[in-house]
Amino acid sequence: MSQTVEQVQGVIQKRYAAGFTTDIESDMMRPGLDEEIVAMISAKKNEPEWMLEWRLKAYRHWLTMPTPNWAHLKIPAIDFQALHYYASPKQKNRPKSLDEVDPKLLETFDRLGVPLHERARLAGVAVDAVFDSVSVGTTFQKELKEAGVIFCSMSEALQEHPELVREYIGSVVPHTDNYFAALNSAVFSDGSFVYLPKDTICPMELSTYFRINARDTGQFERTLIIAEPGSKVSYLEGCTAPMRDENQLHAAVVELVALEKAQIKYSTVQNWYPGDENGKGGIYNFVTKRGDCRGDDSRISWTQVETGSAITWKYPSCIMRGERSAGEFYSVALTHNHQQADTGTKMIHLGKDSTSKIISKGISAGRSNNSYRGLVRVAKKATNVRNYTQCDSLLIGKTCGAHTFPYIEAANASAKVEHEATTSRIGEDQLFYCRSRGLDEEEAVALIVDGFCKEVFKELPMEFAVEAKALLEISLEGSVG
Amino acid sequence: MSVLAEKLVTETAAKAHSGADDHQSIHDWGRQRLMQHGFPDLKTEEWKYTPLRVLEKREFQDQPGTATTLPSWPVEGVVLHFDHGILSIDPATLPEGVKLTPTPSDALNKKDYDQIYGQREGAFAWLNLAQFQQAWHLEITGEQTVIIATTTSGAFEAQVHPRMVIDIASNASLNLIEYQRDLGQGLINGTCEINVAEGAKVEHLICRQNTESVWIQRTDVDVAKDADYRVVAFDQGGRLTRHDLKVHVKGSGANGEIDGLVLLNGRQHVDWHTEIAHCVGQTNSREAFRFLADGSSVGVLNGRIHIHADSDDSHSDLNTANLLLSDDARINIKPELEIYSEEVTASHGATIGQLDDRSLFYMQSRGLSEAESLALLKYGFAAEPMMQIQTPEIRDWVLGQLKEVL
């Protein structure tokens, strides 16, 4: 076996494909974090007064909070005063259409395979592209407008639809929620905003692509999706960053609101730079994602494929407030080299007859540590709740770790909660069988891993599923042994 | 100083009685660490489901209780009766193969308690170290049955901190019954270390039934090469019970097994924190735990399987099934896996549900009353972990008690 391993390691040493840097002039604010910087970000975006007040409240609260240390992660101390909290590609005026966007920027997204321009039509996916702290453009706005869907950057939403933003922002993830959510609330620079009116089924997939380019910056975006009764949307999110030796910070907040009978499907393929094979560099990914099934019969589904980031701290959650509401979480988290991931979900059942399903697949290779941390809570008044959780871990290599920390809290006697977890390695017998059928070791591992993750991949929109599978194969290279 | 520290950290009984404290340095160590780390609160991860309000409200008084009596035992063995924390027999009269002596200070001082007890989460172990009156050392050779009974009467309102180390010699075999019945309103904060030497075998039964007392217990078990340690807990709760049971499987060929049944009612609160650590490879473990929660009780289980690096060929499984029997009862469970080795299999399963309506209907259609059907279903569910008791006489004794309760 070791010979094949060497073969695999020797032949394929593909680099992080999205690790290039775009040489573009940036408009950067001075490093450091204080009330002045918060006010400067707010002023730059020409925000209403209440927004600045909200940001300052969050900042003041953040100052009182200790850094969280409960996760199964080794997080080096972050110097928040050394970071730039705002960086945007230099443009004279805000481009009115994609034709006015700097070609270098378009080229960047083109290299990343994000369909912003002419290919956009073929892909049929509306994209909001965020470069460092600002949104550079949103496609298909006209078509979406005709359908009644609002899909724009957060900055635009604050100008055009301040009443909607004011009503919903912070209503799912309040600024007091946690350390990184408080930080994000104070300094978030852009993000996506989606609003679906009553009974609207979004005519196409919506997508946001996040790119960190500038050095020593942090990206703090905030996404808000509001689905009015009877509406339905599928939203995709992708992210990459250049390869740098320094660590960079990404602290995002995503809030989803699903009203009566509304459905939101949120898919993520996270491919931030994971650092090199010695653990140098990489993105610290501290994200708060939460969906609120506010209306009866509403449904929120999270699907995530996490292959990037040096450190991942992320728990996309659902609060099932409405009766018969449903929450789902499908996740594949892969860690390699020195990556660390502590990820999972929270399913909070408040409504009667609500259901939730959690399928989590963790794959650890190299010297990485991969933890699943999940909470299923059944409130006292939530009758006939049903939850099913399955979390499986796969270990590839002798120096990695796979951990499971599920919290199950039941306070209603009619609840049915089931949880299963297994940890194992790729079996010699499975490998032997695949090889006897003519596959080489690398193909065999890819096939077994693909099979291991199948339940999650099938939940992804097709384009993402193909990308996710390819990403997993690349990320696993050199890990067999 | 916190309310709890003020209440619980006092002059040790030994010093108070005789004016001299043989274990002064170790007591100081415990007290110093306790003051440094403090008592846990709901923000302490290991204590997030177990508030200590009951303890904070309690006033402790050192009044002697009335002598308690013991039940008849299913097997013959050496009975060590700690009545209100005081050993009621003369250790010199024990038969060969069972040796009970006070632990000398220098033996106690050798341990790295910082590493074993940690910080705030181990506050009660530190409290025990600061306050224990007598540290006993029990040595077992040959084939033995030992019953350690700790009982108090209804008048008991004091705090006691029993401390014991049990060494089971190589290839010895011990059938150990820990019988705990506390009818008072005090605090019992016990610490027990069990060292199972190479090739030894231990069958351990913990049988606990308390009322209004607060019982906090810590058991650390080390299992050496080819040794076998199996524990079955039959816990009928108390006002507040917390048991930390840590089994360290330290030698190849060793086996560790935990089975537990917790019956809860009224406003009882029982918190079990178990850990099975595989420190080397070629080791096996298994854990099965069941809670039946009625009334407005709270049941907590934190079951951790920890497989250390370079422990290939370790196999572990944890299974917990729980029944919520009333609208006001709560169950919080957290089965954890922490795996640092590749060639292992580890799994856990957890369910929370209620009694099956169809089974209940079926039994009633066969002529049983509703109450009988309920009792039978509960018994069927509860008896399973008890079936792991290997000695038939002890198993029947426990099942008999179970039938009576249900």
Of B327, B352, B354, the CB nearest to A408: B352
Boundary (domain end) residue, out of B356, B372, B396? B356
Q: Write down the pLDDT at residue A146.
A: 87
Q: CA nearest B311 in A: which residue?
A: A398
ipTM: 0.85
In this structure, what are the phi and psi dihedrals at residue A88, rounded to the nearest 5 degrees? Answer: -140, 145
- Interface with chain B: mutation pick from A383, A419, A430, highest number of B CBs within 10 Å: A419
Backbone angles phi, psi at A176, to 5 degrees: -90, 0
Q: Closest-CA residue in chain A for B44?
A: A70
State yes or no: pLDDT of B362 exceeds 60.
yes
Helix (H, G, I), strand (E, B) or coil at A346: strand
Beta-strand pair A416-425/B344-353: antiparallel
For residues B327 and B361, membership in a common domain is answered with no
CB contacts, 8 Å: A415 with chain B: 324, 352-353
Which residues does chain A have within 8 Å of residue B342's beta carbon, measured at their own beta carbons? 395-398, 400, 425
Contact A422 B343 (CB under 8 A): no
Domain count, chain B: 2
CB A420, CB A393: distance < 8 Å: no
The answer to whether residues B267 and B401 belong to one domain is: no
Average pLDDT, chain A: 84
Taking an 8 Å cut-off on Cβ atoms, the answer to whether A422 and B310 are in contact is: no
Worst-scoring range by mean pLDDT, A213-217, A327-331, B200-204? A213-217
b/e A217-252 (16+ beta carbons within 10 angstroms → b): bbbbbbbbbbbbbbbbbbbbbbbbbbbbeebbbbbb
> Are B314 and B363 members of one domain?
no
- Across chain B, which distance is largest between two alpha carbons, in Å? 70
- Listed ranges A23-27, A128-132, B132-136; the one with the highest mean pLDDT: B132-136
From the list A402, A405, A417, which residue is nearest B351 (CB)?
Answer: A417
Please indicate, yes or no, whether residues B265 and B381 belong to a single structural domain of this protein. no
Average pLDDT over residues A12-26: 62
Render pLDDT for A91-113 as a digit per residue (tens, 0 to 9).
555 555 666 666 666 676 666 66
Q: Are residues B42 and B154 in the same domain?
A: yes
Last residue of a domain, one of B356, B373, B396: B356
Average pLDDT, chain B: 90
Q: What is the pLDDT of residue A6?
A: 46
User: Which residue of A418, A422, A425 is in closest CB contact with B342?
Assistant: A425
Can you give the C-alpha Rg of chain A in angstroms? 22
CB contact under 8 A, A412 and B324: yes
Q: What is the pLDDT of residue A109?
A: 66
- Chain B residues inside the 8 Å CB shell of A377: none
Are B271 and B403 part of one and the same domain? Answer: no
Q: How sure is the predictor about B140, in pLDDT bands with cuts at 50, 70 and 90?
A: very high
Rounded distance, CA A179 to CA A187, Å?
Answer: 13
**Average pLDDT in the A141-148 region?**
84
What predicted TM-score, i.e. pTM, was given to this entire model? 0.87
Kindly list the residues from chain B whose CB atom is less than 8 angstroms away from the CB atom of residue A399: 309
For chain B positions 302-321, those within 8 Å of chain A (CB to CB) are 309-310, 312
Q: For residue A259, give both structure tokens.
A: 């009203």
What pLDDT is stored for residue A102 in this prediction?
67
* Residues A214-242, mean pLDDT to the nearest whole number: 85
Question: Regarding predicted confidence, which is higher, A288 or A441?
Answer: A288
Cβ-based neighbours of A37, under 8 Å, separated by 6 or more:
A29, A30, A85, A86, A187
Half-sphere exposure of B172 (CA within 13 A, CB side): 22
pLDDT above 90 as % of chain B: 70
Q: Write the residue in B325, B345, B346 that is nearest to A413 by C-beta.
A: B325
- Burial profile A94-124: b = 16 or more Cβ within 10 angstroms, e = fewer: eeeebeebbeebbebbeebebbbbeebeebe
Task: Write the pLDDT tens digit of every residue in B57-76.
Answer: 888 887 767 788 889 999 99
Q: Which of A94-108, B184-198, B224-238 has the lowest mean pLDDT?
A: A94-108
One domain, residues B189 and B67 = yes
- The amino acid at residue A185 is S
pLDDT at A357: 95
Q: How many DSSP H helices and E strands does chain B contain?
A: 10, 20
Amino acid in position B68: T
Q: Is the pLDDT of residue B1 over 80?
A: no
Residue contact A421–B347, C-beta within 8 A: yes
What's the pLDDT at A137? Answer: 66
- Which of B331, B356, B381 terminates a domain? The answer is B356
Strands (DSSP E) found in A26-179 = 26-28, 87-89, 125-131, 134-138, 150-153
**Are B236 and B100 in the same domain?**
yes
- Check residue B278 and give its pLDDT: 96
**Looking at the structure, do residues B380 and B298 belong to the same domain, yes or no?**
no
CA B299, CA B317: separation in Å to the nearest integer? 21
Contact call for B324 and A396, based on CB within 8 A:
no
Asked if residue B241 has pLDDT above 90, the reply is yes
What is the band of A308 on the pLDDT scale with cuts at 50, 70, 90?
confident
H or E segment at B370? helix B370-386
**One domain for residues B228 and B303:** yes
Q: In sequence order, what are the beta bridge partners of A247?
A: A282
Q: Which of B121, B285, B297, B339 has the highest number of chain A CBs within 10 A, making it the mutation to test binding with A?
A: B339
User: For B357, which residue in chain A has the nearest alpha carbon?
Assistant: A414
Looking at beta carbons, which residues of chain B come within 8 Å of A412? 324, 327
Residue A415 confidence (pLDDT) = 92
pLDDT of B271-323, one tens digit each?
Answer: 999 999 999 999 999 999 999 999 999 999 999 999 999 898 999 999 999 99
* Gap between the Cα atoms of B361 and B358, Å rounded: 5
Query: Measured between beta carbons, which residues in chain B are less than 8 angstroms from residue A410?
Result: 322, 324, 330-332, 352
Q: Where are the alpha helices (DSSP H) in B247-369?
A: 357-365
| % of chain A exceeding 70 in pLDDT | 82
Confidence of residue A4 (pLDDT cuts 50, 70, 90): very low
Collapsed DSSP state (helix, strand, coil) of residue B73: coil
A367: nearest Cα among A245, A276, A470, A282? A276
Task: Identify the band that residue A273 occupies on the pLDDT scale cut at 50, 70 and 90.
Answer: confident
For residues B212 and B67, state if they share a domain.
yes
Nearest to B337 among A396, A403, A414 (CB): A403
- Whether B337 sits inside 8 A of A393 (CB atoms) is yes
Residue B352 predicted with pLDDT over 70: yes
List, as one string, the DSSP characters of A212-228: --STTBEE-BEEEEEE-
Q: Which residue of B has its CA nearest to A400?
A: B340
Q: Which of B51-55, B61-65, B195-199, B343-347 has the lowest mean pLDDT?
A: B61-65
Beta bridge partners of B205: B177, B232
A221-232, pLDDT tens digit by residue? 899 999 999 999
Helix, strand, coil shares of chain B as percentages rounded to 5? 25, 40, 35
Instruction: Say yes or no: B319 and B363 in one domain.
Output: no
User: Which residues of chain A make contact with B310, given a CB cutoff of 8 A?
Assistant: 398
pLDDT band at B127 (very low <50, low <70, confident <90, very high): very high
Average pLDDT score over residue span B37-59: 90
CB contact under 8 A, B346 and A380: no
Question: Domain containing B366: what range?
Answer: 357-406
d(CA A336, CA A397): 10
